[in-house]
Structure 1
């Protein structure tokens, strides 16, 4: 994954893909999971932000100056979050706060140098107090499962790279686990598109449109 790791020029393509994916997931959950049926969390805003997901990601990319790996790891964290928190699907009311928080945590975990919470709060358009709260909430939501193995990183980054260079539309990539099948998961809620059991070395993949 040298291209994603070593070239800042490829990052706008990654951001464009992620924003397109998150836009699709958010819109689907807005339609299929009305807000009144969801558990409201600290990530939910009172109204939908006026800034688009892509513009928000581009803003984070421009001002956070974190390594390219952080965006891949933040993507992994979001995926883990939706798997662990099925009652908190990503939608247009929470996606921006989830993004800024996941990038903040990934930068702290991945980079030797990173900006503090007050700086990320300014980048994200929220208060420092809220940024601190969101960080704690996401950490607990992830069960403090922050480590990303080389295999997991490669799986997510390779998936992104493939679709970036093929210019394919985002697809839902779901992997069956011992407790539920991909069909069952799709039936319950729209998931981020690269959900799999990280403990399963085979990483058997099932594609679902």
Structure 2
């Protein structure tokens, strides 16, 4: 959507996505504090010192991917939480999930994009770890990479509506909030045959 080209709109979207992910992470930190959780390659040994807001702004500054990538990355995160309910987004994995979803979205959408080594530097991790994160994320969403125009528009419209009503953020309506099914996910209408794009996902 043309509105995404507006720097003010992009900054507002980054602010909103950061706020959403922060609230989801903090909520799950509390909810699963005394419950066993599956530890994955996305989990760090400690919480990163950089805030989600600063991290996403760093990605936006250096990744140079198209604005649409951030919408698609949000779609991918939504799909990941749907298909991997045992891996809720929390303070220990949100940064790695974020850098991975943006990188994969850029590879899928953009004609020109940086390689894994570059994204690793942007994300503050090493290349080998970035490679593992990419593979685990792709398997986590079942290589379901295609995003139809209908789905893209629905997510984009949702974000626009929520941004207009900040700070009234209704976590119960997004599947990023554990235990709730997404009202935005329209996978039933999507083309599952995205194999022709998978070669782009090689390191």
- Structure 1 residues 168, 88: closer, same or farther in 2, change over 3 A? same
Is the Cα–Cα contact under 8 Å of residues 79 and 192 in structure 1 kept in the other structure? no
- Residue 101 (structure 1) aligns with: 100
Compute the displacement of 1:37 (Å).
1.1
- Residue 162 (structure 1) aligns with: 161
Is the Cα–Cα contact under 8 Å of residues 173 and 183 in structure 2 kept in the other structure? yes
- Residue 26 (structure 2) aligns with: 27
Name the count of aligned residue pairs: 190
Structure 1 unaligned residues grouped into runs of 5+: 176-181, 202-209
- Structure 1 residues 69, 192: closer, same or farther in 2, change over 3 A? farther
Please give the per-residue CA displacement for 1:85-111, whole angstroms capped at 9, x wherever unaligned.
000000000000000000000000000
Please give the per-residue CA displacement for 1:149-201, whole angstroms capped at 9, x wherever unaligned.
111101111111112233343213548xxxxxx9xx97xx3559765353279
Aligned counterparts, 1:69-80, within 5 A: 69-80=68-79
SS at match of 1:37: coil
Cα distance between partner residues in 2 of 1:125 and 1:17: 23
- Residue 199 (structure 1) aligns with: 188
Cα distance between partner residues in 1 of 2:28 and 2:49: 18
- Structure 1 residues 56, 193: closer, same or farther in 2, change over 3 A? farther
Compute the displacement of 1:9 (Å).
3.3
Cα distance between partner residues in 1 of 2:151 and 2:184: 11
Aligned counterparts, 1:112-123, within 5 A: 112-123=111-122
CA-based RMSD: 2.3
- Residue 193 (structure 2) aligns with: none
Is the Cα–Cα contact under 8 Å of residues 82 and 191 in structure 1 kept in the other structure? no
Is the Cα–Cα contact under 8 Å of residues 73 and 106 in structure 1 kept in the other structure? yes
Compute the displacement of 1:7 (Å).
2.2
Is the Cα–Cα contact under 8 Å of residues 47 and 93 in structure 1 kept in the other structure? yes
Matching of residue 126 in structure 1 with residue 122 in structure 2: no
Please give the per-residue CA displacement for 1:50-90, whole angstroms capped at 9, x wherever unaligned.
00000000000000010000000000000000000000000
- Residue 205 (structure 1) aligns with: none
Cα distance between partner residues in 1 of 2:166 and 2:35: 36
Moved more, 138-147 or 6-15: 6-15
Matching of residue 63 in structure 1 with residue 62 in structure 2: yes
Is the Cα–Cα contact under 8 Å of residues 44 and 93 in structure 2 kept in the other structure? yes
